[in-house]
Chain A
């Protein structure tokens, strides 16, 4: 470990200690604890605002992005230290957005200069909130069969069709969207990746009620939406490359949910809820074993996530490895919530009461069932691993 890295860690620790408000070091319990940014964003508290603004001004909403785009200009090692030091004090993310976790990496790789200068700084500063237009009613796991059409008309595309599972489409300012620009080509070869304003004429959204209740998901309809051709990212009809690259980042983000966990260690949550025997052991010996096994796997997954970053830095990462991590991370998160429900017992069953934070435990449990569906099902992930990593025949 070099001296400069040591110094960087010390400085980071000191800066976070001085700048992260105590309220922003507590586990998040409510939906509005997450700050998403955007044109219509409001802060749920003063500390949330202060924390966001300080991190934004330091470039640490996106520590590893170049400074010219509003990032912190940190290298991989430094960005890892920032994450570790934030985790060490339980600091919340100051800004969560699909611009940071999904579109940004794709724009950095495939966007032209104009697009990068226009969009990346607004993502870093939380000015524009993005949504993702990928799935369609008849294009789920088989995403490449999507049918939303973009017809050429002079300098514009005219977009017509329907998307589904568009998270927060009703709050989003812009959308990154997969459209079909060639209906004759093979399904993967006629797709393009375009950006447009959700305030455009012809865009409408409708929220979807899930088994967990109100959800961020929407159906999104496009009826002759006119989009400048300059908003095409990458090459016409090569949008699938961009889409796949972005999906790797989306899967990495979703797999991280198991690793970050839901705040307090599961064993302690259960001990508080159920009680312990005279030896200090959880008063449900079978559940205790299940939780212990879960915590073993959780710690191992955290190590694997750390190793994945280090492998990428060393140029040894397999590009499809994020599929393995997405698969494992989401299955683990489902396990966590099954165990939380078991630990919570009767208390975790309440659906509508302030005592239960409006059914937080039960709704979260149900919501996690989508983890292994959204962003590519577990079965699709396993198929990708079988084909691209294990090279199994006909996969």
Chain B
């Protein structure tokens, strides 16, 4: 497959860019932040996303979706990145849809997928527990109890956890933290007794929560996939999230870069446009090169997921690691080249830096993925 967008994918990008550029420019995110909006996103816009078919990109047609692929989901994520739009697209249309499409029973798919596709249900994945993303070290316990399981533990960085209608929770049904086997995924209603949700306001003003589970009962109908064998299913969902998060980071990085190049052509010091200084030209050219190489790596990972979902791990690790380092460089250079203006809250560029920092940690930073690559190559 050619490593470029098809005509249809380009059209999708243009329509996403048109909609998001008009309805959710950076000012949209800023207003939600300043108003201390209780949901932190716009339900109206989420309905529009559903009407345009974005919510069901990864959902089969017989469940109300358009059965497209990860390249298409990445295209939307990149545009979301450009304007820092807060949206349940990642939690619901990527993570929720992937989890249920790949791991759901017939009944589970029938119950939840149409609601994701029509925008009426917000789903998310609860996996992280400690300060760093270490899914294998999952401690949260699920012990057999009656006809089901009883869950105890705590999760952090649950994206959109404060507004979710469905939690997909990774817990340990056997084995010890650090072991690959023994994980199981559960579908948990956040209104269940024993679930305590704390919305976490973070540096990027996007939406996440910490969630405590205290003696939460889940029936066996709530098991997603196989008991004790959830590791591979979880890894697949995480890879879907990592590749699309990398696409969002690409959007963040390229927008920060574009704004910076524009600034270099406007700002004057010493009687010259600062873009005339070779010290800045070479740094901009270096950054351009890094971004273009990362763009190729991200598209490669998205295509790899579409081609063979279970074998995309290497390409996904490369993409998320590259997106992590490239976007970090992009926002740092953007801030430095904007000078004092970049330090002000009134100026948008700092918002890109804040969002990039969160995306870097989300589902594994560049170090995590470089380490995974080294492990997979046995060194």
A: residues with CB less than 8 A from B are 1, 265, 267-268, 270-271, 276, 280-282, 288-289, 291-293, 295-297, 299-301, 303-304, 306-307, 310-311, 313-314, 316, 321, 324-325, 327-328, 379, 381-383, 385-386, 389-395
Q: How near does chain B come to A98, taking the closest CB pair, in angstroms?
A: 26
Q: Please, which residue of chain B has its CB at the minimum distance from the CB of A395?
A: B281
B273 interface residue per 8 A CB criterion: yes
Which residues of A sit under 8 angstroms from B367, Cβ to Cβ?
289
CA distance A288 to B282 in the complex (A): 30
Q: Which 7 A-B pairs have the closest CB atoms?
A: A267-B379, A385-B285, A292-B370, A300-B297, A386-B281, A304-B296, A303-B296
Q: Which residue of A lies closest to B323 (CB)?
A: A300
| Known contacts A311-B4, A316-B4, A393-B276, A300 near B374 by CB under 8 Å | no
| B interface residue numbers (CB < 8 A to A) | 1-4, 261, 264-265, 272-273, 275-276, 278, 281-282, 284-286, 288-290, 292-297, 299-300, 314-315, 317-319, 321-322, 325, 366-367, 369-371, 373-375, 377-379
Main secondary structure of the interface of A (DSSP, over half): helix
Q: Say yes or no: B285 contacts A296, CB within 8 Å.
A: no
Picked from A291, A292, A386, the residue with its CB within 8 Å of the CB of B284 is: A386
CB distance from B229 to the nearest CB of A (A): 24
A295 adjacent to B373 (CB under 8 Å): yes
With A297-B322, A386-B284, A386-B285 known to touch, is A267 a contact of B377 (CB < 8 Å)?
A: yes
| Residues of the B chain whose Cβ atoms lie less than 8 Å from the Cβ of A300 | 293-294, 296-297, 318-319, 322
Q: Which of B1, B299, B317, B374 contacts A1 (CB 8 A)?
A: B1
Chain B residues contacting A392 (CB-CB under 8 Å) are 261, 264-265, 275-276, 281, 284
Supply 30 A–B pairs (Cβ within 8 Å), ascending by A.
A267-B374, A271-B379, A276-B379, A280-B379, A289-B370, A291-B374, A292-B370, A292-B371, A293-B321, A293-B325, A296-B366, A296-B370, A296-B373, A299-B297, A299-B318, A300-B318, A300-B322, A301-B293, A303-B299, A304-B292, A306-B300, A307-B3, A307-B296, A328-B289, A328-B290, A386-B284, A390-B288, A392-B265, A393-B276, A394-B273
Q: Are B379 and A314 in contact, CB atoms less than 8 angstroms apart?
A: no
User: Given B272, B276, B374, which contacts A292 in the complex, CB threshold below 8 Å?
Assistant: B374
Compute how far the CA of A270 lies from the CA of B261 in the bound complex, rounded to whole angstroms. Answer: 40
What is the chain B residue whose CB lies nearest that of A289? Answer: B370
Shortest Cβ distance from A385 into B: residue: B285
Residues on A with beta carbons closer than 8 Å to the beta carbon of B284: 386, 390, 392
